[in-house]
């Protein structure tokens, strides 16, 4: 074994050669030495200098063993800090991945939102999000959403030539997710999101006041066909799903003759229709509105349904699908019959979405017929459950009587005033000074 040799120029430092490696020790006292082990020469010199200084000042580690213990403790502290930092970074990455616009929609917002509303409406909402919102901002975190990003969503939709209604629908969907995320993240993670950045985005102007309604002949043909639709399909070999309960017919009668919304129709129970007058259950906007059930066609329809379901309990829905549950949307048969009768192919309805006949148009028909019969707008407002008469004004155009009277009064007043005035107040007197002055100006200009 090689012997220890002194390191030239460095008092107290010795080394021993092991092939290519050198082992060092620091000998400050004749009878004791700190074995430093195999290391670089510069490291051995630095450690020896630290130990010499510590011993002279009687501070810090006095031996290499103590120094190693301190270093190990420090290393453990550093390791703990680094481990925590790694966990924090991983947690932040996981949080970011879980709170991108797309992942928050998939994992938090949409599972709750899809339990509300109709299947048809939910399908529309999901389609708008997946087709127009997700491709642009789906992979960025909610905290990274900016005005420019939201504007990019809608500019892309404008560039595709999408309608103002679809673009505004996308805005509403995105804003709804943001509002829910603000509440959710604040409660669960203590994260405060700013006000929806899209507030400053210019939304398209919409004219979404539907004015569609059926005339009596169309309504009669629609009801007759709906009532006999299953038999018609059988006779003509049309592959059509349906039920013997004539749900779609009954729902249409109620909406057409009471103005009930679809959402209120499917909530009706047998207890609700036992009297001559009832209120919609939990209507849209929370504004109650009443319905008259003692109308002959309505009463006949309900009595027929009662004979079909003699064992129905008072809390059972009046209209239920083949699984026994309340309908979530209008039965497909309604659209099929409207298509079969070509109702939407009349000149005023082709390429005019505001005139398109769908199930909700039955409610518009109810209000339109009332207006055309001269019913006051206030009464229509009450029957429709509108918040204010402003929502009912769209039906005023259907009856000129609403506007003719004030116009007639204005014209009568003017005619009376006109007759009272003398003719010479209006006859142009050519000999007047003003006339002579105008002639001079005309001659000068020419």
- pLDDT higher for 185 or 343? 343
**What pLDDT does residue 446 have?**
47
Q: At what angle do helices 164-188 and 119-128 cross, to 10 degrees?
A: 90
Residues in the chain: 446
Q: What is the DSSP letter of 116?
A: S
What percent of the chain is predicted at pLDDT more than 70? 80
pLDDT the model gives residue 399:
67
**Confidence check: pLDDT of 335 > 80:** yes
> Could you tell me if 208 and 354 are in contact, meaning their C-beta atoms sit under 8 angstroms apart?
yes
Residue 39 predicted with pLDDT over 50: yes
Superfamily of segment(s) 216-398: Intergrase catalytic core (1.10.443.10)
**Per-residue pLDDT at 175:** 92
Torsion, Cα 104 106 108 112, to 10 degrees, reads: 140
What does the alpha-carbon distance between residue 89 and residue 95 come to, in Å, rounded to a whole number? 10
Q: Which helix (H) or strand (E) holds 433?
A: helix 433-445
* Three-state SS at 97: helix
Q: What is the pLDDT of residue 429?
A: 46
Report in angstroms the alpha-carbon separations of 117 from 114, 327, 328, 445: 7, 11, 8, 74
**pLDDT at 73 (0 to 100):** 63
- Nearest-10 crossing angle of helices 164-188, 147-159: 150
User: Can you give the pTM of this predicted structure?
Assistant: 0.55
Give me the residue label for tokens 């939304």: 203
pLDDT at 44 over 90: no
119/96 Cα distance (integer angstroms): 31
> Which pLDDT score, from 0 to 100, does residue 361 have?
92
**Interval 366-414: pLDDT, tens:** 988 988 888 888 888 888 888 777 778 777 777 676 667 777 777 888 7
**Tokens 């399909």 belong to which residue?**
233
State the average pLDDT for the chain.
80
Rounded Cα gap, residues 323 and 353, in angstroms: 33
Question: Do residues 277 and 292 lie in contact, with contact meaning Cβ atoms separated by under 8 Å?
Answer: yes
CB of 302 closer than 8 Å to CB of 293: yes
H helix or E strand, kind and range, residue 298: helix 296-308
Quickly name the fold that domain 99-200 has.
Answer: DNA polymerase; domain 1 (1.10.150)
pLDDT given for residue 198 in this prediction: 84
What pLDDT is attached to residue 90? 58
Please indicate whether the domains covering 99-200 and 216-398 agree at the CATH topology level.
no
Is the pLDDT score of 222 beyond 50?
A: yes
The whole-angstrom separation of Cα 88 and Cα 76 is: 18
Where exactly are the structural domains of the chain? 5-74, 99-200, 216-398, 401-446
CB 337 within 8 A of CB 225: yes
Q: What is the mean pLDDT of residues 159-163?
A: 84
pLDDT over threshold 90, residue 253:
yes
- Average pLDDT estimate for 277-295: 73
Beginning with the edge strand found earlier in the chain, give each strand of the sheet holding 32-38 in spatial order. Answer: 5-6, 13-18, 21-29, 32-38
Q: For the residues 418-443, what does the mean pLDDT come to?
A: 54
- CA distances in angstroms from 274 to 160, 268, 303, listed in the order given: 52, 11, 10
Q: What's the number of CA atoms in the CB half-sphere (13 Å) around residue 73?
A: 6
* pLDDT given at position 427: 46
More confident residue, 229 or 68: 229
* String of DSSP letters for 313-349: -TTSBSSB-TTSSBPSS--HHHHHHHHHTTGGGSTTT
**Strand 290-292 with 277-279, pairing:** antiparallel
Q: How confident is the model at residue 174 (pLDDT cuts 50, 70, 90)?
A: very high
Q: Which residues of 180-213 are buried (b: 16+ CB within 10 A; e: fewer)?
A: bbbebbeeeeeeebeebbbeebeeeeeeeebbbb
């Amino acid at each position: 074994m090689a012997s220890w040799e002194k390191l030239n120029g460095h008092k107290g430092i010795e080394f021993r050669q092991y092939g290519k490696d050198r082992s060092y020790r620091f000998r400050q006292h004749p009878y004791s030495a700190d074995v430093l082990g195999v290391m670089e020469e510069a490291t051995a010199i630095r450690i020896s200098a630290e130990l010499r200084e510590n011993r002279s000042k009687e501070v810090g580690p006095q031996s290499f063993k103590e120094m190693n213990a301190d270093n190990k403790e420090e290393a453990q502290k550093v390791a703990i800090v680094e481990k925590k930092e790694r966990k924090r970074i991983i947690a932040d990455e996981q949080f970011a991945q879980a709170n991108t616009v797309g992942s928050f929609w998939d994992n938090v917002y949409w599972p709750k939102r899809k339990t509300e509303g109709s299947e048809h409406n939910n399908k529309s909402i999901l389609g708008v999000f997946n087709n127009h919102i997700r491709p642009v901002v789906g992979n960025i975190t909610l905290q990274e959403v900016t005005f420019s990003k939201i504007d990019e969503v809608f500019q892309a939709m404008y560039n595709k030539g999408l309608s103002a209604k679809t673009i505004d629908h996308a805005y509403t969907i995105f804003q709804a997710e943001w509002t829910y995320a603000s509440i959710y993240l604040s409660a669960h993670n203590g994260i405060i999101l700013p006000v929806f950045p899209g507030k400053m985005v210019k939304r398209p102007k919409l004219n979404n006041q539907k004015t569609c309604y059926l005339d009596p002949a169309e309504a009669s043909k629609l009801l007759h066909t709906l009532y006999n639709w299953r038999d018609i399909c059988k006779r003509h070999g049309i592959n059509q799903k349906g039920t013997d309960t004539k749900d779609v017919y009954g729902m249409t009668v109620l909406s057409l003759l009471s103005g009930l919304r679809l959402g209120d129709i499917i909530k009706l129970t047998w207890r609700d229709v036992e009297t001559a007058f009832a209120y919609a259950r939990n209507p849209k906007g929370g504004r109650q509105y009443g319905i008259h059930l003692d109308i002959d066609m309505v009463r006949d329809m309900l009595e027929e349904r009662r004979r079909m379901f003699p064992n129905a309990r008072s809390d059972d829905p009046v209209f239920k699908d083949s699984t026994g549950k309340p309908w979530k949307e209008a039965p497909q048969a309604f659209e099929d019959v409207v298509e079969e009768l070509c109702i939407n192919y009349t000149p005023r309805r082709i390429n005019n979405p505001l005139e398109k006949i769908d199930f909700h148009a039955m409610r518009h028909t109810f209000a339109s017929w009332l207006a055309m019969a001269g019913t006051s707008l206030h009464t229509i407002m009450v029957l429709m459950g509108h918040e204010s008469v402003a929502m009912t004004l769209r039906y005023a155009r259907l009856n000129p009587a609403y506007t003719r009277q004030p116009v007639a009064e204005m014209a009568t007043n003017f005619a009376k005033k006109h007759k009272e005035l003398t003719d010479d107040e209006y006859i142009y007197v050519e000999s007047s000074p003003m006339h002579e002055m105008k002639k001079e100006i005309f001659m000068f200009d020419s």
